[in-house]
Chains A and B, each alone.
Chain A
């Protein structure tokens, strides 16, 4: 289903926002991904992904408090929308169906 299409990186970002729940803004998302998946994430790549997810309606955002360390700039907190939740469910569902469809012998590797 087209409306639920998610890229791999988008999926990770969306999930991370869900994981962080109330505390999901630029830097925490970036650090969370870096920690959990052990990979570097550039601000640019992450921001593009967030932007796209918001446009698709999977995320919504609102401005939070400003701090001195941010030069007086506000944080933008992200939250997963019901549509986003459905998209995640859909992805998981399709994967699960695929997993179930694998014949049990397919992974029966023989190492000799």
Chain B
């Protein structure tokens, strides 16, 4: 049997035709089309349907399409004009109302947009890489040190794991070589971030090559790839392919085979030059290194791979490649998905190649707050519009009595709210455009409003969202307004506005948010202040960190002596690692009673006067002494944490040495320092062992400048450096600046929270402002009568504010525990933190209360101070 749909042409097309076709043409045109369709079905139904559609679409042309405006009820257009006019008149008549109503919605939409841009920017991090990339991480558990997650892995792991496990379809290693000195035509050039990678680098990562073939890079140990701006700096042209240089005065010529577009801001890997990883050793040698963790390994993982299953194979693998019995007690491997590298790495240490990492948990919080602010703004909008209804009851009455139907009134008010919300949307766009530049510089992002225009879907959904908000916000007041009883409103009786639960709940929600944000801001600021003021156990002011290089290594002692002559220099020392990061862990052995114990504390080699220059206090024993010969390499100063961990009754004098020292020629522990915070305050003080090795490669020379003479000091250092060093320009940083940058992301978070708090308070106050205006207006006669009867202004103020005060008290009760839990979680990011002072909540409550009362009293005072006669005689 033939189905109906087989006989009839496509229904949608017919409906479309009926909708647009001129009425008097429709019958025969449609008849023609159906007849044609029937004839055409003989040679294939699908084709006939297609042709039917084509004919219908071709009919959609002037001459056939009806005139929608003319042919529909022409009063509609006139009414539309009238609606526009009354919208405009009402806007003008109630200026303050309209301003509050529109601007609070505009602020809500604007905050939502900004949060959207911010979140989108964070989620788009590393999005140029299309493969299913994972980073190899380790959980290390060494004796004598805290368990830690690290982003480093061993050199041999990349190739062997990828050969052993079919799930891993490719790998590349990323080994930071740091700053390097190149020679180009006899001239020295310093390149900041040089990295050794595998030739598979471009298979794994999607960085854009502007010159050279990605398949053809880093095949030879002496190949290099550089970024465009480095190419422009070194060779004065972008296409530097085929150019050559030598490194560190060596003989090997390195050839540039590719030029990269500059690495984008939203990449966690940042570098200037890629070299072949085998440039520092033969493949057989490097690929069998399993001792140290000094590079980062990335894998392409098969989409279907079961990571849990894969993880079970690691212990066997580790035992096999490292040939160590206890390896699985010390190491656990895990794969971290690429998107977590940026958003979920805050608990990972030794994470040296992770630019701008961010705590992804905040993203959820921001989204939540964004939605809340928008929701509150929308509900405010609804509320104000509804409340304003009573002012327009006469208009409704008149319209009704001359024949406006309920649905016409409904349409009118809906039209009006949608107009207002569109206006709010436009204002929001302007607000965002104005706010973004300063916001960007504050939080160090490059968000752009153009994102909305580049991807129309966002723009359309933003407009759509605003319209929907307008429509939803408009439906309730429209229903109310259109259902007024004509007679009652015309007779001039005021409608008794019930105190709605809805309005009260709204005030509670927005003030809970405002209060929570105020308190959070205070706590975050307090914690940041605590961090910057906390006594970390060493001086970090006026300490100049001068970068060392192969040349300054040789002249360190001479420079030091020369500098110490200057009056602006208080002390000079050197160190293998910079304070502020976790130091590398290192194997030591310590004789405890008669047994030798292995320990892996953080480890630092320094120059003799390190403690004096940094003003680090010793709890016991003595500092290093240059005049004692054994203090070079055979004397150790440990920190209190290590002393406690060792559990020695008398640590001074105990025998200790590097893991590679023969058991019978260990050194001695000569001192114990207080626990100073060499790591960031996010982490506890790890165990630490310090030693002097005069000949080891110092990373930095540390110059303590006289506080009163810093500028002279910098000039002196420049002079002395210039005397000894020819090939490397002076590079230095101050230790306190370094600490400031370390807490940069915490500070940015503080800015963001402060901004959101301000917004929440503003939106909340706007809602309250409007509502209190309405409630005062409603009770204006009551106020007048009370005043005539002799009520004092104070009494009236109390009477009018009582309701609002109660609501704010309720918000206080709701907001306090939620905020407390949130902030406690946040503070747990810091090993060193403030305890939350309950007074802060009280303070926040008082601030919110004061702001609210100020807002409310604005209207109340005006009403109270007005002449009661004018209130009473008005009808």
Q: Please provide the chain A residues from 1 to 40 with a CB less than 8 Å away from any CB of chain B in the complex.
A: 25-27, 30
Interface size class of B (residues with CB under 8 A): 20 to 34
The residues of B that contact A43 with a CB separation of less than 8 Å are 29, 32-33, 36, 55, 58-59
Is B371 part of the contact surface with A, judged by Cβ < 8 Å?
Answer: no
Is B8 part of the contact surface with A, judged by Cβ < 8 Å?
Answer: yes
Report the stretch among A44-52, A84-92, A95-103, A104-112 that lies at the interface. Answer: A44-52
* Complex CA–CA separation, A26 to B34 (angstroms): 11
* Complex CA–CA separation, A30 to B61 (angstroms): 18
What's the count of A-B pairs with C-beta under 8 Å?
69
Most chain B CB within a 10 A radius of its CB, from A43, A51, A74: A43
Once A42-B58, A70-B35 are accepted as A-B contacts, the answer to whether A48 and B28 lie under 8 Å apart by CB is: no
**Can you name the residue of chain A whose Cβ is closest to the Cβ of B9?**
A71
Once A42-B58, A44-B58, A52-B63 are accepted as A-B contacts, the answer to whether A25 and B38 lie under 8 Å apart by CB is: no
The residues of B that contact A70 with a CB separation of less than 8 Å are 31-32, 34-35
Q: In the assembled complex, how far is the CB of residue B49 from the closest CB belonging to chain A, in whole angstroms?
A: 15
The residues of B that contact A66 with a CB separation of less than 8 Å are 31
B64 contacts A51, C-beta separation under 8 Å: yes
Is B239 part of the contact surface with A, judged by Cβ < 8 Å?
Answer: no
Once A44-B64, A52-B63, A69-B38 are accepted as A-B contacts, the answer to whether A76 and B28 lie under 8 Å apart by CB is: yes
Is B736 part of the contact surface with A, judged by Cβ < 8 Å?
Answer: no
* Complex CA–CA separation, A14 to B252 (angstroms): 89
Query: Which single member of B8, B30, B35 contacts A27 (CB below 8 Å)?
Result: B35
* Complex CA–CA separation, A19 to B391 (angstroms): 72
Is B25 part of the contact surface with A, judged by Cβ < 8 Å?
Answer: yes
The residues of A that contact B179 with a CB separation of less than 8 Å are none
**Can you name the residue of chain A whose Cβ is closest to the Cβ of B27?**
A73
B29 contacts A47, C-beta separation under 8 Å: yes
* Complex CA–CA separation, A76 to B62 (angstroms): 20
* Complex CA–CA separation, A63 to B28 (angstroms): 8
**Can you name the residue of chain B whose Cβ is closest to the Cβ of A78?**
B28
* Complex CA–CA separation, A43 to B30 (angstroms): 10
* Complex CA–CA separation, A44 to B36 (angstroms): 13
Q: Please provide the chain B residues from 12 to 61 with a CB less than 8 Å away from any CB of chain A in the complex.
A: 25, 27-36, 38, 54-55, 58-61
The residues of A that contact B30 with a CB separation of less than 8 Å are 71, 73
Query: Which single member of B35, B55, B58, B63 contacts A69 (CB below 8 Å)?
Result: B35
Is A75 part of the contact surface with B, judged by Cβ < 8 Å?
Answer: yes
Q: In the assembled complex, how far is the CB of residue A51 from the closest CB belonging to chain B, in whole angstroms?
A: 6
The residues of B that contact A51 with a CB separation of less than 8 Å are 25, 63-64
Q: In the assembled complex, how far is the CB of residue A41 from the closest CB belonging to chain B, in whole angstroms?
A: 10
The residues of A that contact B55 with a CB separation of less than 8 Å are 42-44
**Can you name the residue of chain A whose Cβ is closest to the Cβ of B52?**
A43
A25 contacts B64, C-beta separation under 8 Å: no
Q: In the assembled complex, how far is the CB of residue B140 from the closest CB belonging to chain A, in whole angstroms?
A: 75
Q: In the assembled complex, how far is the CB of residue A37 from the closest CB belonging to chain B, in whole angstroms?
A: 18
A27 contacts B61, C-beta separation under 8 Å: no
The residues of A that contact B59 with a CB separation of less than 8 Å are 43-44, 47
B34 contacts A25, C-beta separation under 8 Å: no
Q: In the assembled complex, how far is the CB of residue B10 from the closest CB belonging to chain A, in whole angstroms?
A: 13
B63 contacts A48, C-beta separation under 8 Å: yes
* Complex CA–CA separation, A48 to B22 (angstroms): 11
Interface size class of A (residues with CB under 8 A): 20 to 34
* Complex CA–CA separation, A16 to B215 (angstroms): 67
Query: Which single member of A26, A30, A42, A52 contacts B28 (CB below 8 Å)?
Result: A26
**Can you name the residue of chain A whose Cβ is closest to the Cβ of B38?**
A69
Q: In the assembled complex, how far is the CB of residue B596 from the closest CB belonging to chain A, in whole angstroms?
A: 96
Once A27-B35, A27-B36, A70-B34 are accepted as A-B contacts, the answer to whether A75 and B28 lie under 8 Å apart by CB is: yes
* Complex CA–CA separation, A48 to B55 (angstroms): 13
* Complex CA–CA separation, A18 to B28 (angstroms): 19
A71 contacts B27, C-beta separation under 8 Å: no
Q: In the assembled complex, how far is the CB of residue B429 from the closest CB belonging to chain A, in whole angstroms?
A: 41
The residues of A that contact B27 with a CB separation of less than 8 Å are 63, 73-74, 76
A25 contacts B63, C-beta separation under 8 Å: no
The residues of B that contact A44 with a CB separation of less than 8 Å are 55, 58-61, 64
**Can you name the residue of chain B whose Cβ is closest to the Cβ of A64?**
B28
Q: In the assembled complex, how far is the CB of residue B614 from the closest CB belonging to chain A, in whole angstroms?
A: 87
* Complex CA–CA separation, A42 to B53 (angstroms): 12
Q: In the assembled complex, how far is the CB of residue A1 from the closest CB belonging to chain B, in whole angstroms?
A: 23
* Complex CA–CA separation, A44 to B28 (angstroms): 13
A74 contacts B28, C-beta separation under 8 Å: yes
Once A44-B64, A48-B63 are accepted as A-B contacts, the answer to whether A71 and B31 lie under 8 Å apart by CB is: yes
The residues of A that contact B38 with a CB separation of less than 8 Å are 69
Interface string of B61-88 (1 = CB under 8 A from A): 1111000000000000000000000000
Most chain B CB within a 10 A radius of its CB, from A27, A30, A66, A71: A71
* Complex CA–CA separation, A27 to B34 (angstroms): 10
* Complex CA–CA separation, A107 to B33 (angstroms): 45
The residues of A that contact B58 with a CB separation of less than 8 Å are 42-45
Q: In the assembled complex, how far is the CB of residue A87 from the closest CB belonging to chain B, in whole angstroms?
A: 19
* Complex CA–CA separation, A45 to B59 (angstroms): 7
* Complex CA–CA separation, A25 to B29 (angstroms): 10
* Complex CA–CA separation, A45 to B35 (angstroms): 18
A25 contacts B25, C-beta separation under 8 Å: no
B32 contacts A26, C-beta separation under 8 Å: yes
* Complex CA–CA separation, A16 to B188 (angstroms): 89
Q: In the assembled complex, how far is the CB of residue B85 from the closest CB belonging to chain A, in whole angstroms?
A: 37
Most chain B CB within a 10 A radius of its CB, from A30, A51, A52, A66: A51
Q: In the assembled complex, how far is the CB of residue A101 from the closest CB belonging to chain B, in whole angstroms?
A: 35
A73 contacts B34, C-beta separation under 8 Å: yes
The residues of A that contact B32 with a CB separation of less than 8 Å are 25-27, 30, 43, 47, 70, 75
Q: In the assembled complex, how far is the CB of residue A28 from the closest CB belonging to chain B, in whole angstroms?
A: 10
**Can you name the residue of chain B whose Cβ is closest to the Cβ of A42?**
B58
**Can you name the residue of chain B whose Cβ is closest to the Cβ of A50?**
B25
The residues of B that contact A67 with a CB separation of less than 8 Å are 35
* Complex CA–CA separation, A108 to B713 (angstroms): 104
**Can you name the residue of chain A whose Cβ is closest to the Cβ of B32?**
A26
The residues of A that contact B31 with a CB separation of less than 8 Å are 26, 66, 70-71, 73-75
* Complex CA–CA separation, A26 to B59 (angstroms): 13
* Complex CA–CA separation, A20 to B61 (angstroms): 27
Query: Which single member of A26, A42, A69 contacts B29 (CB below 8 Å)?
Result: A26
The residues of B that contact A75 with a CB separation of less than 8 Å are 28, 31-32
* Complex CA–CA separation, A51 to B65 (angstroms): 12
Q: In the assembled complex, how far is the CB of residue B45 from the closest CB belonging to chain A, in whole angstroms?
A: 15
Q: Please provide the chain B residues from 366 to 387 with a CB less than 8 Å away from any CB of chain A in the complex.
A: none
Most chain B CB within a 10 A radius of its CB, from A25, A27, A66: A27
The residues of A that contact B61 with a CB separation of less than 8 Å are 44, 48
Q: In the assembled complex, how far is the CB of residue A66 from the closest CB belonging to chain B, in whole angstroms?
A: 7
* Complex CA–CA separation, A45 to B36 (angstroms): 15
Most chain B CB within a 10 A radius of its CB, from A25, A63, A76: A76
Most chain B CB within a 10 A radius of its CB, from A47, A51, A73, A76: A47
* Complex CA–CA separation, A26 to B856 (angstroms): 74
* Complex CA–CA separation, A39 to B55 (angstroms): 16
* Complex CA–CA separation, A19 to B287 (angstroms): 91
* Complex CA–CA separation, A101 to B254 (angstroms): 86
Most chain A CB within a 10 A radius of its CB, from B25, B28, B33, B61: B28
* Complex CA–CA separation, A66 to B60 (angstroms): 25
The residues of B that contact A71 with a CB separation of less than 8 Å are 8, 30-31, 34
The residues of B that contact A27 with a CB separation of less than 8 Å are 32, 35-36
* Complex CA–CA separation, A43 to B39 (angstroms): 15
* Complex CA–CA separation, A45 to B62 (angstroms): 10
Given contact pairs A63-B28, A66-B31, a sample of 4 additional A-B residue pairs in the complex whose CB atoms are under 8 Å apart = A42-B54, A43-B58, A44-B55, A73-B28
| A contact residues vs B (CB 8 Å cutoff) | 25-27, 30, 42-45, 47-48, 51-52, 63, 66-67, 69-71, 73-76
A-B contact list, 13 entries, CB within 8 Å: A26-B28, A42-B58, A44-B55, A44-B60, A47-B25, A48-B64, A69-B35, A69-B38, A70-B32, A71-B30, A73-B31, A74-B28, A75-B32
| B contact residues vs A (CB 8 Å cutoff) | 8, 25, 27-36, 38, 54-55, 58-64
Q: Which 9 A-B pairs have the closest CB atoms?
A: A73-B31, A26-B32, A44-B58, A76-B28, A70-B31, A44-B59, A48-B63, A71-B34, A43-B55
